[in-house]
């Protein structure tokens, strides 16, 4: 199959390139625009209480909503607000109202806090109706500009926080992060490929190819999102960029290393490319299949953000695979050896290669390598038991220096931490009888008595008097562990247990959404992880025709996952003192480390099987596999880990944690698992690793290949063992 594909591409390169150009233009011209949402409630199924509360609010109070933004005032000198200061605040509110800022529906001054540290103006805005609806964000921009003018020359400082302002800062932070990650990724790929191949042509090849296919990929994802009503999280777009450059470059590297190897063996350029596609095609297709399956398993998630992330990333990987097997060979077949210009290093096998020495040591003492590499994984994995999740997705997605973050902290000087995003409790009559005032008062008292609740507003009645809304301000920040514990336990218990006869209650608000998120995530851990593992094992079994190898390969990947999580806990929780890691980090880590880590395991074990089928004993096979595949895995791992590490430059903790964890996981997968643990364990198990197949036995097809196309590197090793 791959031999035929390679011959077709090399014979008809312009046809292949033309087909890609037509496909790109057609998709870009017809596909819907890829939009993103930052509204976390968009990602939860409708049966959760927080979503039920939202639906009840929309039915009973269609024109009512918590303030979209809060303008926070405090004195520049840090002293308590005076009566004159409060008068200034009222004046500012009046002038802002006279400006008739578009989509601002109301401006209301509230009294100063009890300690007179802060005073706020609550701002109502037009409700957001779609993921790409930016009216609230635009209103915040306008208000911020006007606010600067109004406060200038007074003793006050002021800034805007609240949901709309936090969303604006998050979007701007994401755009900045995307630009930083993109630039850092491209520079890293260019520099590393220049070092590895000493050729600007090869260094630019992945950049050119990925840029060319990116519009097509975005279009396909847009179609999928529209067809299946997928909610695209804003963080997916940054991940898409990194995945495409990282994975795409990996697949191109796998191909180019084998192409160079065939050239060094004496093949002409076209024959070398056909041989490269033939030999590496099955391995990278299996590796891509493992990644696609792992990402595809996310469709089983109850969370819309992961159901959207899975297909999006799977489409990106599939596009990179197809380009790596068709577009890249077509381009290289037209250029021939000029692709290595101006370097001549491709003509000669390097002498005294480090990986040859590592391979020699591996062949002699596989047990030592297995114990040492396994020990590193276990030692780091121990720290994983200290993992603590945090649901602070809003501040985690922006810098601490943004206006919304700064004035959220300022707000804490005088008001409960939950003021920016209060929870809501909805009491609803099931009998059709209007709610009684005495019952409403008693119910409000019950809510106010809950530990962890700072304030409870007077109930707001719907027009039909069948539903009442209570604004419940928590004592702790809405995304904090303490706030989640309050809503999950005592608040929901009191809300449901204190209802008057004939009524029901629903607890809503962002903290309630986070509580339901946690419940959904725990369910996803139990479903998505095992399904992805089983499907990846099936891919490995089909590739290797073995029942034994997939078990220890997937076990090694699980060890790598534990080690990665442990490293993140060690750095962020133990060393930096953060309260926890972003709650969805384990599932993202799992999918990237398991999927992309399996990439390198597949590449290594495919070469191990190839060497075994050429008649080498298990120890020699391990030595030769490390010698020939080690440079490829090291280069690919370095580039892929580096591209994800660039996310640490984004300036927010969520992207930093993701970038660190994924890059460390890939480094562990490449430099510990694939280079040492997998070949060492395979050498120890011997031919039984390929049972019930015959991967450990030479066959006629491979022997025929050996007879007419034995690589120069093998020949050199047999002539001069010192070359190892």
| pLDDT score for 242 | 72
* Mean pLDDT across 269-273: 89
Average pLDDT over residues 187-206: 84
* Structure token pair of residue 438: 């005495």
Is the pLDDT at 357 greater than 50, yes or no?
yes
Interval 218-244: pLDDT, tens: 888 888 877 777 666 555 666 677 778
Q: What integer is the mean pLDDT of 553-557?
A: 84
Q: Is the dihedral of CA 346, 349, 354, 358 positive or negative?
A: positive
Convert 287-299 into a string of H (helix), E (strand) and C (coil).
Answer: HHHHHHHHHHHHH
Report the pLDDT value the prediction gives residue 294, as an integer from 0 to 100.
79
Poorest-pLDDT segment among 58-62, 70-74, 92-96, 144-148: 58-62
Q: Greater confidence, 183 or 702?
A: 183
387: region left, alpha or beta (phi > 0 left; psi from -120 to 50 alpha): beta
Q: E strands of 475-527, at which residues?
A: 503-508
What one-character-per-residue DSSP string does 265-291 give?
TT--HHHHHHHHHHHHHHHHHHHHHHH
**pLDDT tier for residue 504 given thresholds of 50, 70 and 90:** very high
Given a contact cutoff of 8 angstroms between Cβ atoms, the answer to whether 625 and 604 are in contact is yes
Lowest mean pLDDT among 98-112, 224-238, 508-522: 224-238
Whether the Cβ atoms of residue 288 and residue 596 lie closer than 8 Å to each other: no
Q: Is the pLDDT of residue 707 over 50?
A: no
What is the per-residue pLDDT for 220? 87
What CA–CA distances, in Å, run from 510 to 119, 182, 339, 432, 513? 23, 32, 54, 29, 5
The pLDDT, as a whole number, for residue 722 is: 33
pLDDT value for 720: 37
Share of the chain above pLDDT 90, in %: 16
Q: Average pLDDT for residues 384-388, to the nearest whole number?
A: 88
Residue of 589, 622, 590, 588 whose CA lies nearest to 605 = 622
At 695 the pLDDT is: 52
C-alpha span between 656 and 170 (Å, rounded): 14
> Does 706 have pLDDT greater than 50?
no
- What average pLDDT does the segment 16-39 reach? 81
Strands 389-390 and 581-582 come out as parallel
How buried is 597 (Cβ within 10 angstroms: 0-12 exposed, 13-18 middle, 19+ buried)? buried
By the 10 Å C-beta count (0-12 exposed, 13-18 middle, 19+ buried), 149 is classed as exposed
Whether 172 shows a pLDDT value over 80: the answer reads: no
pLDDT score of 349:
66
**Would you give the DSSP letter of residue 37?**
B
SS3 (DSSP) at 700:
helix
Residue 15: pLDDT over 90: yes
pLDDT at position 629 is 83
pLDDT tens-place string over residues 663-705: 898 889 888 888 899 899 988 888 888 887 655 554 444 444 3
Indicate whether 723 pLDDT > 50: no
Lowest mean pLDDT among 48-62, 158-172, 198-212, 367-381: 158-172
**More confident: 395 or 480:** 480
Q: Would you place residue 642 in the very low, low, confident or very high pLDDT band (cuts 50, 70, 90)?
A: confident
Res 234: pLDDT: 53
Place of tokens 């998630």: 301
Window from 226-240, 444-458, 484-498, 566-580 with minimum mean pLDDT: 226-240
**Crossing angle between the packed helical segments 83-98 and 135-151, to the nearest 10 degrees:** 130
For residues 296 and 292, give the distance between their C-alpha atoms in angstroms, rounded to a whole number. 6
**651 pLDDT more than 50:** yes
Please tell me the predicted confidence (pLDDT) of residue 721: 33
Mean pLDDT of all residues in 519-530:
84
Cβ atoms < 10 Å from Cβ of 231? 22
Q: Is the pLDDT of residue 491 over 80?
A: yes
CA neighbours closer than 13 Å in the CB half-sphere of residue 349? 23
| Chain segment 110-145, per-residue pLDDT in tens | 888 888 888 999 898 887 766 567 888 889 998 998
Are 544 and 290 in contact, with CB atoms under 8 Å apart? no
* pLDDT at residue 450, rounded to an integer: 92
User: What span, in angstroms and rounded, lies between the C-alpha atoms of 118 and 78?
Assistant: 10
pLDDT at residue 273 is higher than 80: yes
> What pLDDT, in 10s, does the model give residues 326-353?
999 999 989 888 888 887 777 676 654 6
Q: Taking the alpha carbons of 547, 548, 550, 554 in that order, is the dihedral positive or negative?
A: positive
Percentage of the chain with pLDDT > 70?
Answer: 87
In the prediction, which pLDDT does 488 show?
A: 92
Nearest CA to 560 out of 664, 675, 684 is that of 664
Q: Which residue's entry shows tokens 């020939």?
A: 628
What is the pLDDT, as a whole number, of residue 652? 65
**pLDDT tens for each residue of 278-292:** 888 887 888 788 888
The C-alpha angle with vertex 503 and arms to 501 and 505, in degrees rounded to 5, equals: 130
Q: What does each C-alpha distance from 545 to 532, 555, 689 come to in angstroms?
A: 19, 18, 10
In sequence order, what are the residues at sequence separation of 6 or more whose Cβ sits closer than 8 angstroms to the Cβ of residue 452? 474, 475, 476, 482, 483, 485, 486, 490, 491
Instruction: Please tell me whether residue 485 adopts helix, strand or coil conformation.
Output: helix
Q: What is the pTM of this model?
A: 0.71
Supply the mean pLDDT for the chain.
Answer: 82
pLDDT for the residue numbered 701: 43
Least confident of 408-412, 551-555, 632-636, 653-657: 653-657
Q: Are 682 and 365 in contact (CB under 8 A)?
A: no
**What local confidence, expressed as pLDDT, does residue 693 receive?**
65
Query: Which residues on adjacent β-strands are paired with residue 506?
Result: 426
Q: According to the model, what pLDDT value does residue 718 have?
A: 35
Q: What are phi and psi of 723, to 5 degrees?
A: -65, -20
Using the predicted structure, report yes or no on whether residue 28 has a pLDDT greater than 80. yes
Q: What pLDDT is stored for residue 612 in this prediction?
A: 84
What is the pLDDT, as a whole number, of residue 506?
Answer: 94
């Amino acid at each position: 199959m791959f031999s035929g594909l390679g011959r077709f591409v090399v014979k008809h390169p312009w046809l292949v390139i033309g087909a890609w150009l037509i496909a790109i233009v057609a998709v870009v011209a017809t596909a819907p625009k890829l939009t993103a949402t930052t509204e976390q409630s968009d990602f939860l199924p409708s049966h959760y209480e927080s979503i039920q509360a939202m639906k009840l609010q929309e039915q009973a109070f269609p024109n009512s909503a918590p303030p979209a933004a809060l303008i926070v005032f405090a004195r520049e000198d840090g002293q308590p607000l005076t009566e004159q200061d409060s008068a200034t605040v009222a004046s500012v509110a009046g002038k802002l109202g006279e400006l008739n800022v578009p989509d601002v529906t109301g401006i209301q001054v509230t009294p100063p806090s009890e300690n007179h540290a802060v005073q706020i103006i609550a701002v109502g805005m037009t409700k957001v109706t779609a993921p790409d609806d930016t009216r609230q964000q635009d209103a915040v921009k306008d208000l911020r500009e006007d606010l600067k003018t109004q406060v200038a020359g007074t003793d006050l400082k002021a800034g805007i926080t609240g949901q709309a302002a936090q969303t604006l800062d998050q979007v701007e932070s994401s755009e900045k992060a995307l630009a930083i990650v993109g630039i850092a990724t491209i520079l890293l790929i260019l520099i590393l490929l220049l070092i590895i191949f000493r050729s600007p042509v090869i260094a630019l090849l992945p950049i050119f190819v990925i840029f060319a296919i990116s519009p097509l990929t975005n279009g396909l994802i847009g179609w999928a999102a529209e067809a299946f009503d997928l909610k695209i999280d804003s963080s997916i777009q940054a991940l898409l960029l990194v995945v495409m450059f990282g994975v795409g470059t990996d697949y191109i590297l796998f191909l180019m290393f084998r192409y160079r190897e065939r050239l060094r063996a004496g093949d002409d350029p076209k024959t070398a490319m056909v041989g490269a596609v033939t030999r590496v095609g099955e391995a990278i297709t299996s590796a891509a299949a493992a990644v696609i399956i792992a990402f595809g398993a996310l469709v089983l998630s109850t969370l819309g953000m992961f159901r959207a992330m899975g297909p999006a990333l799977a489409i990106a990987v599939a596009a990179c695979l197809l380009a790596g097997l068709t577009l890249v060979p077509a381009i290289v077949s037209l250029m021939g050896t000029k692709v290595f210009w101006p370097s001549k290093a491709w003509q000669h096998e390097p002498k005294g290669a480090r990986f040859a020495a590592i391979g020699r040591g591996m062949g002699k003492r596989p047990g030592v390598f297995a114990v040492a590499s396994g020990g590193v994984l276990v030692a780091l994995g121990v720290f994983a038991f200290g993992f603590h999740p945090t649901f602070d997705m809003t501040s985690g997605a922006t810098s601490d220096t943004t206006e919304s973050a700064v004035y959220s902290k300022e707000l804490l000087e005088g008001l409960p931490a939950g003021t920016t995003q209060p929870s809501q409790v909805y009491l609803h009559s099931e009998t059709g009888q209007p709610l009684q005032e005495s019952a409403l008062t008693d119910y409000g008292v019950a809510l106010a008595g809950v530990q962890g609740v700072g304030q409870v507003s007077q109930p707001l009645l719907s027009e039909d008097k069948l539903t009442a809304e209570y604004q419940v301000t928590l004592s702790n920040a809405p995304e904090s562990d303490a706030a989640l514990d309050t809503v999950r336990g005592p608040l929901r218990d009191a809300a449901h247990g204190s209802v008057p006869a004939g009524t029901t209650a629903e607890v809503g608000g962002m903290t309630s959404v986070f509580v339901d998120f946690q419940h959904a995530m725990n369910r996803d851990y139990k479903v998505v992880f095992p399904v992805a593992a089983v499907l990846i094992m099936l891919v490995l079994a089909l590739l290797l025709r073995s029942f034994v190898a997939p078990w220890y390969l997937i076990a090694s990947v699980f060890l790598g996952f534990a080690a990665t999580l442990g490293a993140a806990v060690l750095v962020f929780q133990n060393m930096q003192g953060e309260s926890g890691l972003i709650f969805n980090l384990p599932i993202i880590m799992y999918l990237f480390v398991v999927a992309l880590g399996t990439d390198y395991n597949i590449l290594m074990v495919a070469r191990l099987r190839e060497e075994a089928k050429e008649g080498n004993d298990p120890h020699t096979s391990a030595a030769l596999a490390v010698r020939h595949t080690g440079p490829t895995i090291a280069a690919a791992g370095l580039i892929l880990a580096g591209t994800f590490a660039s996310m640490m430059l984004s300036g927010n903790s969520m992207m930093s944690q993701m970038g660190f964890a994924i890059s460390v996981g890939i480094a562990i997968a490449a430099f510990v698992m694939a280079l040492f643990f997998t070949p060492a364990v395979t050498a120890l198990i011997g031919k039984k690793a390929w049972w019930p197949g015959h991967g450990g036995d030479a066959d006629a097809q491979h022997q025929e290949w050996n007879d007419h196309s034995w690589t120069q590197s093998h020949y050199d090793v047999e002539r001069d063992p010192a070359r190892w």
